[in-house]
Amino acid sequence: MRSELFGTLPDGTPVHRWTLERDGVRVRVLTYGGIVQSAEVPDRSGATADVALGFPSLDGYLANPGPFLGALVGRYANRIAGGRFPLDGRIYHLAQNNGTNALHGGERGFDKRVWDADPLEHGVRLHRVSPHGEEGFPGRMEVSATYTLDEGGALRIAYEAVTDAPTVVNLTNHSYWNLGGAGSGDAAGGHEVRIAASRFTASDGDLIPTGEFTEVAGTPFDFREPRKPGLGHDRNYVLDKGVTEAPVEVAELHDPASGRTLAVATTEPGLQLYTADHFDETLPFAPGAGIALETQHFPDSPNRPRFPSTELRPGQVFRSETVYGFGTRA
């Protein structure tokens, strides 16, 4: 476990990079945005490659915030319709940074904040206070994200939060995975994806849920058996397991060329599959160069009472945990 200066923000704030190493896996995490900058893992022959898309310098993240490469997203991951939601009889207004909707916490969400860091034996705990009114969200929220490498090299991210006033919270990690190695080619066309979900949240043209659940059977969105996704995926899957106290495996990526696998286990009820269709010439990565598997509560839950609740109240503790297990297959 070690840290080093990674860069400095324009206002002079230092950003550090923490390196986690265990059982042949090396993961680097930034205090800026809680970003997973890299994840180096072996293939079936033992050759190591970085399988998480990222930038080599802080400037890359500052110049290209839109893809949220590797970032810790909050206060509310995904979209909130109209940038507004009701809570206890009051309407709260958020930044409309995705058309008329709020996306991934607003103009300056958790992905654009510098977090305090405490070292652990096999990881690092990032924490900060999100003040009342930050990006329009109510309540002073104390939040932490703990990154650890388990025995065998699995990356575990555990989130906790408490608040002094009623609020909403939905946190995720926005890493894009290419198990052939970052920058090695077309993950969407070459990887196999499996997701343990029989339904997804139907959505409109702005990716806002309609409130209905659609069966995956007979659609191009059925990943109950492994298959290559190709481009064209950006939707929230309703995981069959629902909300759980401990992480349950819900998805797997497999790169037949390298043999690398990535198993995703989570406590969350939803998973957003995104094939990076909107990557453009401003990035060193092409559309489909990485696959995001964002564990989460559902988009627009604060406006959808039928969905699992994202409300957090004083005296409660928000907890969420996701594990990324790296492996190989012959």
Indicate which residues carry an active-site annotation. 174, 294
Residues facing residue 192 across a β-bridge: 254
Q: Are 155 and 23 in contact (CB under 8 A)?
A: no
What is the spatial distance between Cα 197 and Cα 215, in angstroms, rounded to a whole number?
A: 9
Q: Which pairs from 311-316 meet CB under 8 Å and 24+ separation? A: 311/87, 311/166, 311/167, 311/168, 312/139, 312/141, 312/161, 312/162, 312/163, 312/166, 312/167, 312/168, 312/169, 313/163, 313/166, 314/162, 314/163, 314/164, 314/165, 314/166, 316/162, 316/163
Length of the chain: 330
